[in-house]
A and B are shown apart, each in its own frame.
Chain A
Amino acid sequence: MDYLLNVLFSIVFDGVAYGMILFIISVGLSITMGLMGFVNLAHGAFAMAGGYVAVTLMNQAGVPFALALIAAFLAVAAFSVAFERILYARLYGAGELDQVLLTIGLVFMSIAAATYIWGPSAQPITLPAVLTGRIDLGIREVPVYRLFMIVAGAVIMVALWLGFERTRFGAQIRAAVDNRRMTQSLGINVDRLFTVTFAVGSGLAAVGGGLGVEIWGLDPDYPIEHLIIFLIVVAVGGLGSIKGAFVAALLLGVIDNAGKYLLPEFGSFFIYVTMIAVLLLRPAGLFGRS
Chain B
Amino acid sequence: MSAPTSSAAAVALLAGRHRWRPLEALPWILAVAAFFLFPEYRVLGSQVLIMIGFALSLDLILGYAGIVSLGHAAFFGTGAYTAGLLVNAGWTEPISGLVIAALTAAAIGLISGWVILRTHGLTLLMLTLATTVILQEIANEKDEFTGGSDGLLFTVDPLFGQFAFDLEGNVAYLYALAVVAILFYVTRRIVNSSFGFSLTGIRENTARMHTVGMPVHRRLVTVYVISAAMAGVAGALLSQTTEIAALNSLSFERSGAVLIMLVLGGAGRLYGAFVGAAVYMILEDRLATIDPVYWLFWIGLVLVLVVLFARRGLFGVLSDAVAKAGWRA
On whether A and B touch (CB less than 8 Å), the answer reads yes
Query: Is B308 a contact partner of A102 (Cβ separation < 8 A)?
Result: yes
Cα–Cα distance between A275 and B293 once the two chains are bound (Å): 36
- Residue in A closest to B267 when the chains form the complex, CB atoms: A97
Cα–Cα distance between A280 and B120 once the two chains are bound (Å): 11
Q: Which chain A residues numbered 267 to 289 have a C-beta less than 8 Å away from chain B?
A: 268-269, 272, 275-276, 279-280, 283-285
- Residue in A closest to B298 when the chains form the complex, CB atoms: A112
B291 shortest CB reach to chain A, Å: 9
Cα–Cα distance between A116 and B295 once the two chains are bound (Å): 11
Assuming the contacts A109-B297, A272-B133, asked whether A33 and B68 have C-beta atoms less than 8 A apart, the reply is: no
Assuming the contacts A111-B296, A235-B123, A283-B123, asked whether A101 and B311 have C-beta atoms less than 8 A apart, the reply is: no
Residue from B62, B122, B253 having most chain A Cβ neighbours under 10 A = B122
A6 interfacial by beta-carbon distance below 8 Å: no
Contact partner of B127 (CB less than 8 A), chosen from A87, A228, A276, is A276
Cα–Cα distance between A281 and B129 once the two chains are bound (Å): 17
Contact with A along B64-83 (1 / 0, CB 8 A): 00001000000000000000
Contact partner of A112 (CB less than 8 A), chosen from B68, B122, B134, B297, is B297
Of A88-96, A131-139, A143-151, the one touching chain B: A88-96
Assuming the contacts A102-B307, A115-B294, A235-B122, asked whether A275 and B300 have C-beta atoms less than 8 A apart, the reply is: no
Assuming the contacts A104-B260, A105-B302, A279-B119, asked whether A98 and B130 have C-beta atoms less than 8 A apart, the reply is: no
Query: Is B297 a contact partner of A275 (Cβ separation < 8 A)?
Result: no
Cα–Cα distance between A101 and B259 once the two chains are bound (Å): 9
B residues near A96, Cβ cutoff 8 Å: 68
A63 interfacial by beta-carbon distance below 8 Å: no
Contact with B along A111-129 (1 / 0, CB 8 A): 1110110000000000000
Query: Is B256 a contact partner of A104 (Cβ separation < 8 A)?
Result: yes
Query: Is B303 a contact partner of A108 (Cβ separation < 8 A)?
Result: yes
B179 interfacial by beta-carbon distance below 8 Å: no
A residues near B125, Cβ cutoff 8 Å: 231, 235
How extensive is the interface on chain A, given as a class?
A: 35 or more
Query: Is A106 a contact partner of B126 (Cβ separation < 8 A)?
Result: no
B264 interfacial by beta-carbon distance below 8 Å: yes
B13 interfacial by beta-carbon distance below 8 Å: no
Cα–Cα distance between A108 and B299 once the two chains are bound (Å): 7
Contact partner of A94 (CB less than 8 A), chosen from B253, B296, B303, B311, is B311
Cα–Cα distance between A101 and B306 once the two chains are bound (Å): 9
Residue from A33, A102, A108, A284 having most chain B Cβ neighbours under 10 A = A108
Residue from A97, A100, A101, A276 having most chain B Cβ neighbours under 10 A = A97
A244 shortest CB reach to chain B, Å: 12
B residues near A115, Cβ cutoff 8 Å: 293-294
B281 shortest CB reach to chain A, Å: 15
B137 interfacial by beta-carbon distance below 8 Å: yes
Given A98-B311, A101-B264, A231-B126, 7 other A-B residues pairs in contact with their CB atoms under 8 A: A102-B303, A105-B302, A108-B297, A109-B296, A109-B297, A234-B122, A239-B122
In the complex, the 3 A-B pairs of residues with the closest C-beta atoms, listed nearest first: A108-B300, A105-B303, A112-B297
What are 24 residue pairs bridging A and B, where the CB atoms are less than 8 Å apart in the complex? Answer: A87-B308, A96-B68, A101-B260, A101-B263, A101-B303, A104-B260, A105-B299, A106-B304, A107-B300, A108-B296, A108-B299, A108-B300, A109-B300, A116-B294, A232-B126, A235-B125, A268-B137, A269-B137, A272-B130, A272-B133, A276-B127, A280-B116, A280-B119, A285-B123
